[in-house]
Structures are given as C-alpha cells and as structure tokens.
Structure 1
C-alpha cells in the first residue's frame, strides 16, 4: 500500500509539472529570456504593477502571443481607469486571439473605477464576457492587507465569473491541503492551479525587486517577505519537497488540481531547468 501511495504521489507531481505555467514580470529583457528557455507550447502569465502601468503588461502579452505562447495578462482591477478603458483593453486583446486573463485586485492607490477584482469581473460580464478563461486569486494564507474572512467570502463571490483559481504562495503543505479541502467542502469547484515559487537566487530576487519601482518594491517585499526568508534558509523550502508532501492529499479527482502556477521572479532559465530535471528524476523512478 505504501509503495502504491508513493507511485500515485509521484504520478501526481509529474502531472502537475507537465501542466505548469510561468509568471514573469514585464522587464526589458524578459521577452528574449522567455524565447530562449520556455517552450512555445507553455503558458506564460504577465504581471501588472502600478510603476510600469498596464501598457507594459499588454504589450508583452501581445508579443509573446505572436511568438506562439498562450500569454495571459494580469488585469489588475485597481489599475483600470473605467469601463471605456476596460472595453478598449478587451477589444485589443481579443483582436490578437488572447482568450485568457488573470484578474487580481492589484495594488494601485488610489484605484480607478474598480476597487477590487469582483467589481471588474462584474463589469466584464456587463460588456459581454469577452474572455473564455478567467483566473482569480485564492489565499491559503493571510493576505497582508485583507482579512481572512474577506478573502474567503471574496473567492465565493467571484467564483461565478471565473473559470479557475490560482493559489497565492504558501510554504505549509498541511495548510494548503486543508485550505483546498475547505474550499471544495464549501462548494467552490473551480479547477485550481497551485502557486509555487521556482528556484530563485536571493540576490537576483532582491535585484528584481529594484527593477519594478521603489514604491512597488516596498509592496512586493511586504507581501513576499516570508518568501525571501524561506527561500534563503539553509535546508529550507524546496519545490520538490513541497510537491511531494501535498501530492497524496491532492491527487484525487475531486480536488480538481490541474497544474502549477510558477512564480519565476524572472529567473526563467533556472525555473525551466528545475522543472525538467525533476520530471526526468520522476521518470527514472517510475
């Protein structure tokens, strides 16, 4: 029974790795980096930050789409000015064949017409539901600026406008599996992509923070300070151990865990190499 359980867990980890998409920040060099290291059959999501504006996100999304990637822009609700701009964005993206978006609340302060993700999702429905695939955020752990009660209620409210959930970062396997079970028990049956960090060098990660703007870096560091600590700690977090621990609890079809959302922090080459090596190791064990 134990051997069978290990085999099933390994098969789950392999399936998740095979269905991974990669999150990048829209910096000047990232397009060439993606082209060099990421197969064009992969999905790449493009973040949005107040310091760069939505144009950087949309422009990179369009360019990656032309290269054959499934490119998914983050439409941060608080960064969208009003309905006219939302309609313009939707028309622009759909004209390029872009069918998928990810809708977080975002950090822009003050916001435009949409103070949170739900209000923008509702507006997307009003303008005709232009996108086939719409992702929303799930929070296994506390959000630094939003209470747990609100994040849980928000995901429930947003579910009817979305096609899948992307979990925010967590490093506690037990907490994650409990959160997924509670989400399913409450009747939220949207497919889930597990958010995990790729293998990131701390020095490079801190350097990346300086490239996204001073104000944005402050918010980035506040929201991800636990990430830095765990990634930097000797013998601390690794993606392999995390996936091996969550796989047994999340392997059942009722959990609807479809793949991974990998936060690369633009360390794309290392992330792809890590994923490929782990798949090779799992194949060798099979």
Structure 2
C-alpha cells in the first residue's frame, strides 16, 4: 500500500459521524467501534437538552460524543453554563458551535460568534471547539459573508467542518481560497453518508444547496436512480489527492448520516477494506 492510499485509509478510519437527536440514535450508533467520534446536531424544535441527552447515551456506550450547541436556541449565559457543564461531564472535552436554525434568537446569542465569545468570557472553553464552514455559495449568504464569518470565528476554534458540497473540485478550490485569506484551521470535509437519495435531495434543497445539486444531477444522474442509495465514493476519490496539502488541507471526513448510521458505517468499512486490498 503506497503512502497516499495509507493516508486515505487512516482518515476514513477516523471519520466523524453526525447523528440527529432522535429516539434510538444512540442505540443505532452502537455499530460503530468504541471511541468513534459521534457528533449530535442541534434541533430548534427539541431544544439543546435533546442534544445533550443523546450525547450522554452515546458517551455511556463508549463513543466520543460531541454535542452541537446552537447559539439561537440558548437564551442566556446561565443556560449556556449549565449546558457546558453537561458537555464537560461527557468526558470528550469537545463541543461544536453552530448558529442554529431557529428563526429568531432565544436570547442574547444571535450567531455562533457571539456564543463562542461568551464561552470564553465564562472561562468555560473546552479543549476542542469546532465550527461550520461553507464551500459553495450559500442560498441565503454571499461567499464574502460566509468566508468573512469563518475568518471571524476561526481564532475561537480548533477546526472546521464543511457543509455538504457535491463537487470535489469546488471543495478543493475553496480550501485554496481559505489559505489565500489566511484561514488555516484544519478542515474535516462534510460528506453525505450512504443515504436514501430522496431524503438527501429533500435535505439539500432545505439547506439551499442549489449549485451543488445541479452538479450532482449532471454528474451522476441521481434523479433517475432514486432507489439506489447515495454513497460519497466520488467525493472521496476526487478529494483524496488533497489530503497532504498544507493547512487548511483535509484533516479528515465528517459523515452526515441523516439517521442512516448503520448503512453509512458499512459504507465506511467497505471503503477501508477495498483500500486494504490495493497492492503496494
């Protein structure tokens, strides 16, 4: 196995898995090896407690649980301190900070940057903090705004996770643009897992991935193959050459499971097994 293949295999083995704070998610995640990193999204409908509840069950199962804290769902610093206490008790010493999807802020934190600053003001910063990043033009925000927001958040974070983008060339260009602008955070590239295509299309439309969806339809004819689950093989193949680029190169992979945890874990394991068989 050559060095680049070994590097790809190692990063796949360290993949992060993102789950929803829904009933049974922690039980379904038990298919993952002990110590796997599993992040739990924030739900504006269920509130931050649902995220921490799921994270606690994941931690109890021997997984490295990372709760998302959504700024717009947290009303004040007292509630933030209580959530940070619960996060600290997980033993992972890590959180992931997002702005959140609530239409109106619940209190004093309108965005992720405000929450990051408050965490530091409280003297409660965990050892690792992650933030979101957007490789393609967001449906509701310009490129300048998204990269400017990332640059403002970067000094308060240890790594970024990119939003879904189906075009590997666009992701590679974006990583170069970050370098050019001096944003050097390690990036875990967000990949859709092995997910039902109709679900993936629905979610992608909801979060405004218009440009990326057009690429997906053109390159893969995905609309004509709705019965075949999507897998991120083409994205991984297209990005593997960039694993050894200078910061902010690809630090690893973040798999959005959309509650298809078992299917996504099997895809990852199969991909690792195929790489193991590659001749040196």
TM class, shorter-chain normalised?
Answer: 0.7 to 0.9
Aligned partner of residue 285 in structure 1, secondary structure: coil
Match of 1:267 in 2: 260
| In 2, Cα distance between equivalents of 1:80 and 1:137 | 18
Tell me by how many angstroms 1:7 deviates. 4.6
Aligned partner of residue 195 in structure 2, secondary structure: coil
| In 2, Cα distance between equivalents of 1:203 and 1:138 | 25
| In 2, Cα distance between equivalents of 1:73 and 1:186 | 29
Match of 2:60 in 1: 66
Bigger mean CA deviation after superposition, 73-82 or 92-101: 92-101
Tell me by how many angstroms 1:11 deviates. 3.3
Q: Does 1:179 align with 2:163?
A: no
What is the aligned-residue RMSD (CA, Å)? Answer: 2.4
| In 1, Cα distance between equivalents of 2:247 and 2:140 | 31
Tell me by how many angstroms 1:157 deviates. 0.5
| In 1, Cα distance between equivalents of 2:89 and 2:257 | 28
Give the TM-score, by structure 2 length: 0.88
Q: Deviations over 1:219-266 (max 9, x none)?
A: x74216657784843579741121111111332344442211100001
Counterpart contact for 2:175–2:249, Cα < 8 Å: no
Size of the aligned set, in residue pairs, is: 269
Distance verdict in 2 for CA 1:242–1:7, change over 3 Å: farther
Aligned partner of residue 106 in structure 1, secondary structure: coil
1:223 to 198, 204, 207: 207
Structure with the bigger percentage of helix: 1
1:257 to 250, 253, 274: 250
Counterpart contact for 2:242–2:249, Cα < 8 Å: no
Match of 1:282 in 2: 275
Distance verdict in 2 for CA 1:149–1:197, change over 3 Å: same
Q: Does 1:102 align with 2:96?
A: yes
Q: Does 1:136 align with 2:126?
A: no
Distance verdict in 2 for CA 1:8–1:90, change over 3 Å: same
Q: Does 1:41 align with 2:20?
A: no
Within a 5 Å distance, the mapping from 1:235-250 to structure 2 comes to 238-250=231-243
Q: Does 1:233 align with 2:223?
A: yes
Q: Deviations over 1:19-78 (max 9, x none)?
A: 20100001112121111x111220000011111111110111112112211101110111
| In 1, Cα distance between equivalents of 2:121 and 2:248 | 31
Match of 2:117 in 1: 122
Aligned partner of residue 182 in structure 2, secondary structure: coil
Distance verdict in 2 for CA 1:41–1:149, change over 3 Å: same
Tell me by how many angstroms 1:203 deviates. 4.9
| In 1, Cα distance between equivalents of 2:208 and 2:20 | 15
Tell me by how many angstroms 1:9 deviates. 4.4
Give the TM-score, by structure 1 length: 0.86
Structure 1: gaps of 5 or more residues: 1-5, 210-216
1:151 to 126, 146, 151: 146
Counterpart contact for 2:140–2:208, Cα < 8 Å: no
Counterpart contact for 1:199–1:271, Cα < 8 Å: yes
